[in-house]
Amino acid sequence: MNEKPIIFSGDMVKAILDGRKTQTRRVIKPQPDEDGLSCDAGYPFIWYDTDNKPQKCPYGTGGTKLWVRETLANIGGWAYYAAPSATLLAHEHDEVISVFTKTHVKWRWKFNKLSQRYMPYEAARTFCRITNIRVERVREISKEDAVAEGIPWRWTNDTEGEGEETLSDVVIDDFGTLWDSINGKRQGCSWEDNPWCWCLTFQRII
């Protein structure tokens, strides 16, 4: 089974656990130019860089299993997670399992917290499976996809639809704010820069 790690912030992990987040967008590195996208036979998610070398999505393809890396702490050998309302054991079993050892931790612990980047596979509690991958600019996101990214629903009254409520355009603004809080300080990656992204749709399996 092909498995890949993927990093999420605490709020986004909470959104996944709550069933509110089923998409994520990640900046393509390096960025293709306007004509850099390609749909090669058998590899629909390949684009070509400036040296005409094919580049695949680093998170895998449809069917790839993702294991979520998140901020956590080692308390007495047990793993506790920083995601809101989610201080759960790494392994939900009755037996006591000491997840973290000197081999895992080495010098990387600071204030008893482990960075997302160095979180070991053994401590993973959330697994997802990729169901779709596409390439698009971040500002091409639809209102429905903004909600799939974990943005709370916002409604507006549709005066031409007999009072039916529809999604407000504000959800896209909310996503833009979220995007910049994560990516805004990286050169060429802000909402205004409108970078090309891998758009991953996934389903939580654990």
Residue 63 binned pLDDT confidence (cut-offs 50, 70, 90) = very high
Which CATH number belongs to the domain containing residue 63 in this structure? 2.30.130
Tens digit of pLDDT for each residue in 99-132? 554 444 443 445 456 677 878 787 888 999 999 9
| 44 is a domain residue | yes
The contacts found for 111-119 with CB under 8 angstroms, 24 or more apart, are: 112/73, 112/74, 112/75, 113/71, 113/72, 113/73, 113/82, 114/71, 114/72, 114/73, 114/74, 115/71, 116/7, 116/8, 116/69, 116/70, 116/71, 117/7, 117/69, 119/69, 119/70, 119/71, 119/72
Tens digit of pLDDT for each residue in 102-111? 444 443 445 4
Domain residue limits at 58: 3-70+126-141+196-204
| 81 is a domain residue | no
| 159 is a domain residue | no
Domain count, the chain: 1
| 131 is a domain residue | yes
| 109 is a domain residue | no
Tens digit of pLDDT for each residue in 152-184? 988 876 545 555 568 899 999 999 999 999 999
Residue 150 binned pLDDT confidence (cut-offs 50, 70, 90) = very high
**Torsion sign over Cα 94, 96, 101, 107:** positive
